[in-house]
Amino acid sequence: MPENKSESKQTTVQHMAYEPYTVAMGPQHPATHGVLKLDLELDGETILECKPTVGFLHRGVEKLAENISYAQCLPLTDRLDYIAAMANNVAYSVAVETLLGIEVPLRAKYIRTMVMEMARLTGHLLWLATHALDIGAMTVFLYCFRERENLLDMFEEICGARLTTSYTCIGGVRQDVTGHFLESLHAFTDEFPSRIAEYETLIDKNRIWLQRTQGVGVVSAEDAVSLGLTGPTLRGSGVDYDVRKHMPYDAYPYVEFEVPIGSKGDVYDRYRCRMEEMHQSNSIIRQCIEALPPGPIRAEDAPDLVMPYGPQKVVEADATFSSGIIKLVEDRKRFIKGDVYVAAEVPKGELGFYFVSDGRGVPYRMHIRSPSYIHIGALPFLCKGQMVADVIAIIGSVDVVLGECDR
Amino acid sequence: MKIQYDTKKSLVERIFLLEIVKGLGLTLRRLFSKSVTIQYPKERKELFPGFRGKHALIRDPKTGTARCVACMRCASVCPARCISIRFTTDEKTGGRKLESYEIDALRCIFCGYCEEVCPVNAVVLTEDYEYSDYEREPFHFDMEALLNNWDKFVEKNKIDPERYLNPFLRPRGLALGELPAGKRMDVPEEWTLEGQVVWKDGKAVSAREAAAE
Ligand code: SF4
Ligand code: SF4
């Protein structure tokens, strides 16, 4: 159509100076926290549109899970949010236990709550470290890693790995805690609040930090809910929603803690929420240590799921009763049919597992509702109209990890 | 709980740039505190027992070879499917004889399930993590290589193979009745179900002591 063509040509000529141009940020960009690609359409320095591209780290975790048993799926969850693998382990185990109706012993519940809060600290410390580094505060990065290292050492002591922990098992935990672990963790919680104060000294009232974070990436409470944000990213906007409080699992009903809520919904409020959450986690860990009851660490009624030692057997007489031989057959009654969605509060937000079970002992379908994926979906909204430099601050403040997003 | 904060600075703070002074003061304090960094190749971190490192087949001091009875539990539980075992079955007794045992360490995800599930403590993940190489071939461990790994591990760390303990060989906090005979080793008291630790009066004590008081 020749007329149209000439028309469009004319507009181009008229707005030559304002023609938006596109910049590809990532997938190899140090501040995108992994392999996230953002196509930014810019007008000068203002962002007209931001299009995230995900999937560079896709490993097919959901599909892999369809071929291996529930117990074997557990190490896969380490590789979702590799920053706080312990929290994923707990979330996964809680979901499978709900599906199969297994009651976990009290000691295991307390241990799990304890390690989950430790994972929250490792997650938040790494978040603070990289977020501050992105905005330009190098020292905070080093101090955060010092404490994170202590926590990772404690993970190593109880489960033999620092990052890919695989610590829980379905129906409990794989290893009991040791006295040395409890003592070093208790000593850590004594000291940690003063360490948080150190980070705050460096950035709390720092004028560069305030200018980079206050009033940036504002999201109102309604928008935050409709975008599906969860975790501290949602609570920074003033919405009181925390899975630990509203749908408690493990030992959370027995411990006391507060859920910090922000009001303005900007990057600074989200930062504040997470800092306060670290104080709360610290106090939960202390309560768990002090209230840790003695008792078994694995549920008895978890046939075929308790690692190790093979499936539990039930005695079945020979059908004809002639040979007098009794047989031991595997008890697979527990694998009920049905589906379940169970969520847990991981450092990033609400991590949910949706299982469809057809009674075979392997998930027919496992869907992971990963907070990072949904938070990346909110980036176009958050970035619109902001400056290019603020994209970094916004990505940092919604706290995404690409292993979990792409899974 | 609504978080409260006040980012307003007082006049003094604004004029004298107090936050810079505070920040530098912290850095200065840390400059003279004890360093937390480990200078890796010169110093090495002390690992905790049960660190999941290089695979090995424990060489049984009595027979001089692996204890494996070819029960196939490790191969079937391995999520990465990196263990392959071949065995022959004796027609008369039904006993199994191990022919070959291979672990592809490049596929392994170091979950520790194999060592936890083994009823006779034949396979183990040793506390050795320094085994990089330029080629793939050295990471394909066959039975000889796995037994060698054990010998080297024993030699390097000067451990007594009879006394070697690892929380995955005898998981902490399990009742003795739950364990197969091969896993019922002598362990420190806090590893047993009866001696498990609880917190009392500012220190970790065994549950038995706490109950006795
Ligand atoms: S550690 Fe896990 S992945 Fe590696 S060989 Fe053992 S069971 Fe397989
Ligand atoms: S579980 Fe142990 S005994 Fe059984 S095949 Fe594996 S290494 Fe051998």
Rounded to a whole number of angstroms, the CA Rg of chain A reads 24
pTM for this predicted structure: 0.86
How confident is the model over A109-113, as a mean pLDDT? 91
Closest by Cα among B161, B178, B158, B157 to B67? B161
Contact between residue A335 and residue A360 where contact means Cβ atoms under 8 Å apart: yes
Q: Is A179 within a domain?
A: yes
d(CA B56, CA B78): 15
pLDDT exceeds cutoff 80 at B8: no
> pLDDT-derived band of residue B97, with 50, 70 and 90 as boundaries?
confident
Contact between residue B66 and residue B143 where contact means Cβ atoms under 8 Å apart: yes
What is residue A121's predicted lDDT score, i.e. its pLDDT?
92
Contact between residue A182 and residue A163 where contact means Cβ atoms under 8 Å apart: no
pLDDT exceeds cutoff 60 at A292: yes
Closest Cα to atom 6, ligand 1: which residue? B114
A195: closest CA of chain B, how far (Å): 11
d(CA B55, CA B59): 13
Q: Which residue has the higher pLDDT, A400 or B211?
A: A400
What's the gap in Å between B57 CA and the centre of ligand 2?
10
- Sign of torsion, CA A162 A163 A168 A170? negative
pLDDT exceeds cutoff 70 at B212: yes
Work out the mean pLDDT of chain A and round it to a whole number: 82
Closest by Cα among B73, B53, B78 to B166? B53
Q: Which domains does chain B have, with CATH numbers?
A: 55-157 (3.30.70.3270), 176-212 (no CATH)
> pLDDT-derived band of residue A117, with 50, 70 and 90 as boundaries?
very high
Q: Is A19 within a domain?
A: no
Which of B27, B171, B198 is opposite residue A174, by nearest beta carbon? B171
Instruction: Write the pLDDT tens digit of every residue in A140-195.
Output: 888 889 889 899 999 998 888 888 888 888 888 888 888 888 889 999 999 899 88
The ipTM assigned to this model is 0.86
What DSSP letter does each residue of B28-41 carry, written as one string?
Answer: HHHHTSPP----TT
Instruction: Write the pLDDT tens digit of every residue in B106-148.
Output: 989 988 888 888 888 888 888 888 888 898 888 888 888 888 8
d(CA A50, CA A30): 18
Q: Is A384 within a domain?
A: no
Instruction: Write the pLDDT tens digit of every residue in A295-313.
Output: 888 877 665 555 444 444 4
Report chain A residues whose CB lies below 8 A from the CB of B205. Answer: 179
The terminus-to-terminus CA distance of chain B in angstroms comes to 40
Q: Is A116 within a domain?
A: yes
Ligand of minimum distance to the alpha carbon of B85: 2
Beta-carbon-side half-sphere exposure of residue A312 (alpha carbons within 13 Å) = 14
What is residue A115's predicted lDDT score, i.e. its pLDDT?
92
What is residue A124's predicted lDDT score, i.e. its pLDDT?
92
**B83: Cβ below 6 Å to ligand 1?**
yes
Q: Is A5 within a domain?
A: no
Domain of residue A169 covers 62-367
Burial class (CB in 10 A: 0-12, 13-18, 19+), A66: middle
Angle at A110 between CA A108 and CA A116, to 5 degrees: 100
Name residues contacting ligand 2 (CB within 6 A).
B 68-74, 85, 117-118, 120, 122-123
What DSSP letter does each residue of A91-156 carry, written as one string?
Answer: HHHHHHHHHHTPPPPHHHHHHHHHHHHHHHHHHHHHHHHHHHHHHT-HHHHHHHHHHHHHHHHHHH
- Here the tokens at position A253 are 């009903």
Centre a 10 Å sphere on the Cβ of residue B14 and count the other Cβ atoms it contains.
12
The terminus-to-terminus CA distance of chain A in angstroms comes to 46
- Centroid of chain to Cα B203: 25
Instruction: Write the pLDDT tens digit of every residue in A317-339.
Output: 444 443 333 333 444 455 677 88
Helix axes A267-291, A179-203, angle to 10 degrees: 160
Q: Is A46 within a domain?
A: no
Q: Which residue has the higher pLDDT, A292 or A12?
A: A292
Which of B3, B26, B73 is opposite residue A261, by nearest beta carbon? B3
Report chain A residues whose CB lies below 8 A from the CB of B109. Answer: 75, 164
Do B111 and A75 make contact, defined as CB atoms within 8 angstroms?
A: yes
Helix axes A267-291, A106-135, angle to 10 degrees: 150
> pLDDT-derived band of residue A15, with 50, 70 and 90 as boundaries?
low
Work out the mean pLDDT of chain B and round it to a whole number: 84
Centre a 10 Å sphere on the Cβ of residue A359 and count the other Cβ atoms it contains.
12
Q: Which residue on chain B is closest to A202 by alpha carbon?
A: B23
What is residue A120's predicted lDDT score, i.e. its pLDDT?
92
CATH of the domain at A103: 1.10.645.10
What's the gap in Å between B107 CA and the centre of ligand 1?
8
- Here the tokens at position B139 are 């990471």
Contact between residue A233 and residue A375 where contact means Cβ atoms under 8 Å apart: yes
- For residue B185, the one-letter residue type is M
Helix/strand/coil for A53:
strand
Contact between residue A345 and residue A90 where contact means Cβ atoms under 8 Å apart: no
pLDDT exceeds cutoff 60 at A237: yes
- Provide the number of structural domains found in chain A: 1
Q: Is A51 within a domain?
A: no
What is residue B29's predicted lDDT score, i.e. its pLDDT?
87
What's the gap in Å between A179 CA and the centre of ligand 1?
28
The percent of residues in chain A predicted with pLDDT above 70, rounded, is 86
Ligand of minimum distance to the alpha carbon of B118: 2
